[in-house]
Amino acid sequence: MVPLAEKLRPQKLEDFVGQEHIIGIGKPLNELLARKKISSMIFWGPPGSGKTSLARLIANYIEADFIPYSAAIGSIVEVKKIISKAAQDKGFFQKETVLFIDEIHRFNKAQQDAFLPFVENGTIILIGATTENPGFSIIAPLISRSRVYKLEALNDKQIEQIIARAVKEYPDTTWDKESLALIVLHANGDARFAINAVELSAAIHKKVSLKAMEKILQQKNILYDKKGDAHYDTISAFIKSMRGGEPDATLHYLARMIKAGEDPVFIARRMVIFASEDIGNARPNALVLAVAAMDAVKMIGMPESQLILAQVATYLATAPKSIASTAGISAALKDLEIERLGPIPLQLRNPANKVMKGFDYGKGHIRYPWLEEQKTGRKIKQQYLPDNLKDRKYYQPEWE
């Protein structure tokens, strides 16, 4: 039996839902298809955004053989066999071959290198699909020989359109309006998830109520790969929300990470860094609280640790901010790279023996200048930085 998702794949470009920014009238891919001038490309986008369907459409438009392949389960040896046949088809029959590699990021550098000569000489039209940033997961030579198109998650209206097509395949089944709305909510922009939800509910019920759909769906579909873009984008949004003093946004992104099963110690560790980097001496106890939170999370575990994370995250978000120490150490490190490493002033050196004392190590140093100031009532001025940097100001309290 053909899965519903396969039956609903569009056969014409006008039936494709979403991605108007690349396939709409006058847009890049639309123009290329109109001229049937297709070269290798990379589709980068979340699950259910139409990467496979679009690749199939392209093959149809240029009347090419479409060979789907998954990098997750296949090997480069099998790919080479496909390429060998593609070369024969092109040579004898002038037939193009679109080799669609799903999850192409799973191929390592050496495996990706193997495609280069065949992409370059036109033996195959390679279409790679990836949910990960191709700038990190695909080798530069392959990207330079391909067009990269970024696909977006579908919006709610587009998901509704796909669901409307799906339910027509089951004329003997009816769905409450609320049950279909729940699919839209849970799909979170993933067309495949929505189609599968319709297919599963039709297999179980003749009349699908909201309650029945709640049992089927159980948990909202959340795009979050602990090693992928969603992971880094979410933690970035979390930190920037704290930095911007927005506790509500902070809790939203924290909730996303908790719901997706992110390691709570990872979240706590980033909060420790934030307490020092962004709050610093404007409220020094923020670092103490963040470290205590990380220790508590390690001891307690989830789900209770979410309370600790929420408490400290909102504290950090609403605390006064300072980058004085952060900017100061950055400036000091930069000077080490661009300035001469001047000798430490003699009065600061350790006079550990008579020889050192003979060379004036420690001579004239006032150990407790603050105490001397109290006694004499005058400001004590000593040089602490090397001569070439003696006027540098790394720590600027006005940044508090």
Domain CATH for 83: 3.40.50.300
Looking at residue 222, what is its pLDDT?
57
Mean pLDDT throughout 7-11?
A: 90
- pLDDT tens for 203-226 read 888 999 998 888 888 765 555 555
Pair 203, 173 in one domain: yes
Pair 23, 146 in one domain: yes
Q: Which of 93, 116, 150 is the last residue of a domain?
A: 150
Yes or no: say if 246 and 317 are a contact pair by the CB < 8 Å rule: yes
Yes or no: say if 25 and 31 are a contact pair by the CB < 8 Å rule: no
Give domain status of residue 210, yes or no: yes
Please name the residues in contact with 327: beta carbons below 8 A apart, sequence gap of 6 or more.
396, 399
CATH number (domain holding residue 197): 1.10.8.60
Pair 370, 297 in one domain: no
- Separation of alpha carbons 240 and 235, rounded Å: 9
Q: How confident is the model at residue 282 (pLDDT cuts 50, 70, 90)?
A: very high
Give domain status of residue 329, yes or no: no
Range of the domain at 285: 229-318
Pair 140, 186 in one domain: no
Mean pLDDT throughout 125-141?
A: 88
HEC secondary structure over the chain: CCCHHHHCCCCCHHHCCCCHHHHCCCCHHHHHHHHCCCCCEEEECCCCCCHHHHHHHHHHHCCCEEEEEECCCCCHHHHHHHHHHHHHHHHHHCCCEEEEEECHHHCCHHHHHCCHHHHHCCCCEEEEEECCCHHHHCCHHHHHCCEEEECCCCCHHHHHHHHHHHHCCCCCCEECHHHHHHHHHHHCCCHHHHHHHHHHHHHHCCEECHHHHHHHHCCCCCCCCCCCHHHHHHHHHHHHHHHCCCHHHHHHHHHHHHHCCCCHHHHHHHHHHHHHHHHHHHCCHHHHHHHHHHHHHHHHCCCCHHHHHHHHHHHHHHCCCCCHHHHHHHHHHHHHHHCCCCCCCHHHCCCCCHHHHHCCCCCCCCCCHHHHHHHHCCCCCCCCCCHHHCCCCCCCHHHC
Pair 242, 269 in one domain: yes
Looking at residue 296, what is its pLDDT?
95
Q: Which of 120, 150, 180 is the last residue of a domain?
A: 150
Looking at residue 319, what is its pLDDT?
95
Mean pLDDT throughout 164-193?
A: 91
Pair 173, 211 in one domain: yes
CATH number (domain holding residue 252): 1.20.272.10
Looking at residue 219, what is its pLDDT?
60
Looking at residue 124, what is its pLDDT?
87
Give domain status of residue 377, yes or no: yes
Give domain status of residue 327, yes or no: no
- Separation of alpha carbons 254 and 235, rounded Å: 8
Looking at residue 122, what is its pLDDT?
84
Pair 26, 62 in one domain: yes
What is the share, in percent, of the chain residues with pLDDT greater than 70?
A: 95
Pair 291, 347 in one domain: no
The encoded tokens of residue 15 equal 């039936």
Res. 292: pLDDT tops 80: yes
Pair 199, 245 in one domain: no
Mean pLDDT throughout 346-360?
A: 81
Mean pLDDT throughout 181-194?
A: 90
Number of domains in the chain: 4
Give domain status of residue 375, yes or no: yes
Looking at residue 249, what is its pLDDT?
95
Res. 318: pLDDT tops 80: yes
Pair 287, 385 in one domain: no
Give domain status of residue 7, yes or no: no
Looking at residue 398, what is its pLDDT?
63
Yes or no: say if 71 and 102 are a contact pair by the CB < 8 Å rule: yes
pTM above 0.75, yes or no: no
Pair 194, 271 in one domain: no
Q: Which of 112, 133, 150 is the last residue of a domain?
A: 150
Give domain status of residue 142, yes or no: yes
Looking at residue 226, what is its pLDDT?
53
Which burial class, exposed, middle or buried, applies to 261 when counting CB atoms under 10 A from its CB (0-12, 13-18, 19+)? Answer: exposed
Give domain status of residue 2, yes or no: no
Pair 279, 359 in one domain: no
